[in-house]
Structure 1
Amino acid sequence: MVQLWLIAFGAGAASALLVATVASGSAIALPLFYLAPLPILIVGLGWSQVAALVAGSAAAVALALAFGLELMLAYVAGVGLPAYVLAYLALMARQDAPDGPLVWFPVGRIVLAAAVLGCLAVAALIPLVAGSIEDYQAALRTLFQAMLSADPATPADADTARLIDLLVTVMPPAAALITMVTQIGNLWIAAHVARMSGRLMRPWPDLAAITVPQGTVALLAGAFIGASLSSGFIGLVCELLGATLVMALAFIGLATLHWITRGAGGRTLVLGTVWIAALALGWPFALLAVLGAIETLFGIRRRFRRGGTGGPPAANEA
């Protein structure tokens, strides 16, 4: 038990240090900040969700003592709490019969949970920046004007003003997306670390077979409708949720491509091209989300028998 506490406190210290690098202002600070959930997830998957909770709490307390309450709240909302929830869900299982196998929480629903957590993280941080959506947008506009204008006191020209308006609109959904994707990426890395060390408590899933409930598509449509009809905080939350749900369906689209190309010639070239194009350009994720929505509603993968047999072991899948 003492060893568990020491490991958890060590992971919390590592996570807090990764967040604290932002204060240095160095070029490597931002990538290190995005790795802040990793220690929490490693101890969560390798030891227990209790260790993840202790690690996240220790990191939050350390940041509060060193940098104040605001950074602690930002850490809890954007790093610590999502990491703990994802570790908890990854280790959740049920046993339908006394002697039956464990049925683990589906990976697709973990992705869906990450989408919701990414939305809630950004929504929870808005009150730390401003008291209203209008004040929040004004603060973003002031920040971008200071970044893009040679003289912040001088009004921006028409082109710069349009760019600033675009950035103010895009920034909150982009922040929710980044929170979601970094949490999922860190979860994947942590699971690999735990598996290589022999401490991963659940079997490695077939990532090409992940699914989300059909209601996800309806929820996405509702988020888009809510964003178009609502204003203020409700409208912004709908925008955040819509952005993260699009990414969740894009992951289903990627899984579908991995499934249907199993055993096909040129598979590596096709998948490599899709991944590189999506990461480099961004907009292919929207097409992948459409594919993911079609798969979720109609089950494309069921039509490809080679996806179920003859493919590589699940642990070899990306």
Structure 2
Amino acid sequence: MVGADGSAEEHDPPLTAPGAGQLVMMQFGLIGLGSGAAAALLFASLTSGSPLSVPLAYLAPLPIMIAALGWSHWAALIGAVTGGLAIWLLFGSLFFVAFFAGIGLPGWWLGYLAMLARPVGSNGTASLEWYPPGRLVAWAAGLASALIVLTVLMMGGDADAFREAMRVAVHEVFRIAASEAGSSGPAALRNPERFVDLLVVVIPPATAVMATLTNTVNLWLAGRIVKFSGRLTRPWPAISEMTLPPLTAAALAVAVAVTFIDGMVGIVAGIVMASLLIVYGVLGFAVIHSVTRGMSARGFVLAGVYAAVLIFGWPILVLCLVGLAEQIFNFRARAALRRGPPAST
């Protein structure tokens, strides 16, 4: 619903009968329990050790987001809480914190924001303005940064303690992998300690990037699934027209500058910088979608871009540069001018 004061509120289904409120709340509860159970199962698949468990765990926020977009953010909140409690009972409090902070809370909050709307216009022509996708992507990055920063602070109160804890963790991972594979692990490298030191530096920002992409892709998938089911009350946003909040570029510039500070401050700044940079990678995808409109080989170009990112990974850096350049050169507006207005029918 949208408040009378013009503030944005969640767009919930209307109640049509006196007893509909109780029925709707019961439905929200059942949907919430189901989404929480599904999210907990996907998250708990990590304990199986199967290679398939990793992509399944990445999809853990999806059921909660589907509940938020298709029913209500209350259903999603019930799912986040019940899923977290199930994880707590099965695996303990540490896993509960990991689930709720990394899966439940982002899934609920992003789903809640996606269904916010406010009235615009006047004189009988009022319509709803929905929460813009660019801000949703920025929120996904902010939540991912907060999660990784919290994890870093839990591992060590200062930079030296964190790096030592990371070294121990990396060595343990290599030891387990080597024992299972029957190899010598990092000891086979020419300079294993340098390789471990590199991983200590790279893992926190890389994890922030993956968390940002996980939040963003799951929200997109949830929207497509709910739209296909006919329950999506907001219009599907034009991703190719996505714009970022005005302060995103300034926040990225500050984060880049602060990364040169030694210690925990620099580590935290690196995590924030990586999350914000991948936001511009998403904007780069939007630019590619926009500027290729009208091209006969558009499908081939888009498929090639997505395949290159999925297979090699590093082309996402090119898209980050495209997104950054879009803020200066406005490629989409230039491409629209070249295409001209749509032909009249």
The answer on whether the counterparts of 2:28 and 2:74 sit within 8 Å (CA) in structure 1 is no
Task: State the AA in 2 paired with 1:76.
Answer: F
Measure the CA separation in 1 of the matches of 2:186 and 2:112: 49
Corresponding residue for 1:316?
none
The answer on whether the counterparts of 2:174 and 2:186 sit within 8 Å (CA) in structure 1 is no
Flag the 1:192–1:158 CA change in 2: closer, same or farther, 3 A: same
Measure the CA separation in 2 of the matches of 1:52 and 1:129: 30
Corresponding residue for 1:126?
152
Deviation at residue 285 of structure 1 after TM alignment: 1.5
Pairing 1:86–2:110 present: yes
Measure the CA separation in 1 of the matches of 2:55 and 2:216: 15
Pairing 1:235–2:266 present: yes
Task: State the AA in 1 paired with 2:44.
Answer: A
Deviation at residue 276 of structure 1 after TM alignment: 1.7
Secondary structure (helix, strand or coil) at the match of 1:182 reads helix
Deviation at residue 296 of structure 1 after TM alignment: 2.1
Measure the CA separation in 2 of the matches of 1:171 and 1:16: 25
Percent identical across equivalent pairs?
39
Pairing 1:101–2:127 present: yes
Pairing 1:183–2:215 present: yes
After TM superposition, list the pairs within 5 Å mapping 1:1-318 onto structure 2.
1-97=25-121, 99=124, 100-148=126-174, 156=187, 159-232=191-264, 234-305=265-336
Secondary structure (helix, strand or coil) at the match of 1:229 reads coil
The answer on whether the counterparts of 1:16 and 1:62 sit within 8 Å (CA) in structure 2 is yes
Deviation at residue 119 of structure 1 after TM alignment: 0.6
The answer on whether the counterparts of 2:159 and 2:263 sit within 8 Å (CA) in structure 1 is no
The answer on whether the counterparts of 1:123 and 1:237 sit within 8 Å (CA) in structure 2 is yes
Task: State the AA in 2 paired with 1:263.
Answer: G
Task: State the AA in 1 paired with 2:328.
Answer: L
Q: Across the two proteins, how many residue pairs are aligned to each other?
A: 310
Gaps of 5+ in 1: 312-318
Task: State the AA in 2 paired with 1:235.
Answer: G
Gaps of 5+ in 2: 1-24, 180-184
Secondary structure (helix, strand or coil) at the match of 1:202 reads coil
Corresponding residue for 2:8?
none
- Larger Cα-atom Rg: 2
Secondary structure (helix, strand or coil) at the match of 2:191 reads helix
Flag the 1:97–1:225 CA change in 2: closer, same or farther, 3 A: same
Normalising by structure 1, what TM-score? 0.90
The answer on whether the counterparts of 2:117 and 2:130 sit within 8 Å (CA) in structure 1 is yes
Deviation at residue 308 of structure 1 after TM alignment: 8.3
Secondary structure (helix, strand or coil) at the match of 2:272 reads helix
The answer on whether the counterparts of 1:70 and 1:128 sit within 8 Å (CA) in structure 2 is no
> Deviations along 1:168-219, whole A, 9 cap, x unmatched?
1111111111111111111111111101111112100111110113432221
Deviation at residue 223 of structure 1 after TM alignment: 0.6
Deviation at residue 138 of structure 1 after TM alignment: 1.6
Measure the CA separation in 2 of the matches of 1:236 and 1:284: 24
